Amino acid sequence: MRVLYDDMGSFLTLPRDYARRLAAEGIDCRVFNPFRPVLSSIQNNRDHRKIVSIDGRTAFTGGFNLADEYINAIEKHGHWKDAGICLRGDAAWGLTLMFLQMWGLASRAGDELAAFAPGPAPAGGEGFVQPYADSPLDKENTGEHVYMQIINRARRYVYITTPYLIVDDSMISALALAAKSGVDVRIITPHHWDKWIVHMTTRAYYRPLLEAGVRLYEYSPGFLHAKIFVSDDEVATVGTVNLDYRSLYLHFECGTALYQCPAVAQVKADFQRTLAASQELTLADCRPSLPVRLFQELLRLAAPLM
C-alpha cells in the first residue's frame, strides 16, 4: 500500500510525524512538496489530485479528501456535498499512471510501470471515458481547456457545480456568451463557506454573470465541494479542478471526461438533486452596500492569490 499526501494541504490537520506513523504500520508513505519556512513560489504548486487506485483495475477520483466532514461523519460547514467517480479497465489504469507520476516526483525514484499494469482490460461499454491530468510544469492548462470546450460547444444547456467561482475574463466571457446565445447556463456554489474571504470573492463575480443571463444558485444545506460540468445530455466531467486561479493554473489536478456514455445522465441527475436543495439568486440579492462592493472589487484584484 502506498499513500501520498500534500503537505501544504494537510499542514494544520496532520501531525508532523504522520508519514513515520504510517510507515510503522507497514504503509509506504510520501509527503508531496514538504513545507519549508522559506519564501518560495514552489509552495503554490500543491498536489490537489484525489486518486485511489486498486490493482490498476479500479480507480476513484473527484472532490473527496480523506477527512470526516467529506462523508458527514462530523459537521463542519453544514451538510457536505461532493461528487466522485469510479472507473474500471483502461480508464482506471490512466489514473494509476497519474498517481505513479506524482509518487515519482515525491520519492525521486522511478518505478517500472509495467510491474503495475493490470493486463488486458475487458471490452469497454458505450461511449468514451477519458481521464486527464493537469500540471503546472507544462504549458497546457488542461483543466481549463476541458471546461472551456464544454462551455463553448454547449447548444442547449451547461450545468456546473463548484465550491469557488473566482475566474478570469476569458471564463466570464465564455459563460456570458453562452447564456446570451440562448444556452441554459446554471452554476451552483455553496451557501455555507469554508473560507469567508474566498466566499466573499466568489460573490464578487455574481453580478456580471447574472446580468449576462447566467442563473446562479447557492447550495442551502451546507458546503458544496463538488466539481462537475454536464452539457446537452452528451458530455460531462467530474474531477478535482475548482473554478479558481490556483486550481486552474498552479496545482496538480485531475479529472475524467465523459462523452455519450450512461454516466453523463447520472452526473445530470446529481446536479438536479443539488439544484432542488439550492436557492436561486437574483440581481436584487447581489446589491451589497457601497463599502462591501468596494471591498469585493479589491478582492477581485487579489483573486490570483486565492
Annotated active-site residue in 184, 194, 232, 285: 232
Annotated active-site residue in 17, 28, 55, 168: 55
Is 268 noted as a catalytic residue in this protein?
no
Is 145 noted as a catalytic residue in this protein?
no
Is 227 noted as a catalytic residue in this protein?
yes
Dig out the grid coordinates for 231 from the structure.
452539457
CB 202 within 8 A of CB 176: no
Cα–Cα distance between 133 and 131 in angstroms, integer? 7
Cβ atoms within 10 Å of 268's Cβ, excluding its own: 18
Is 225 noted as a catalytic residue in this protein?
yes
Annotated active-site residue in 47, 48, 134, 191: 48
Annotated active-site residue in 81, 199, 225, 251: 225
> DSSP letter string over 111-151?
--GGGG---PPPPP-SSEEEEEEE-TTSS--HHHHHHHHHH
Cα–Cα distance between 198 and 306 in angstroms, integer? 7
The phi, psi pair for 17, rounded to 5°, reads -100, 25
Annotated active-site residue in 50, 81, 199, 268: 50
Percentages helix, strand, coil for the chain (3-state, rounded to 5) are: 40, 25, 35
Is 81 noted as a catalytic residue in this protein?
no
Cβ atoms within 10 Å of 158's Cβ, excluding its own: 26
Is 82 noted as a catalytic residue in this protein?
no
Annotated active-site residue in 81, 191, 199, 227: 227
Please give the positions annotated as active site. 48, 50, 55, 225, 227, 232
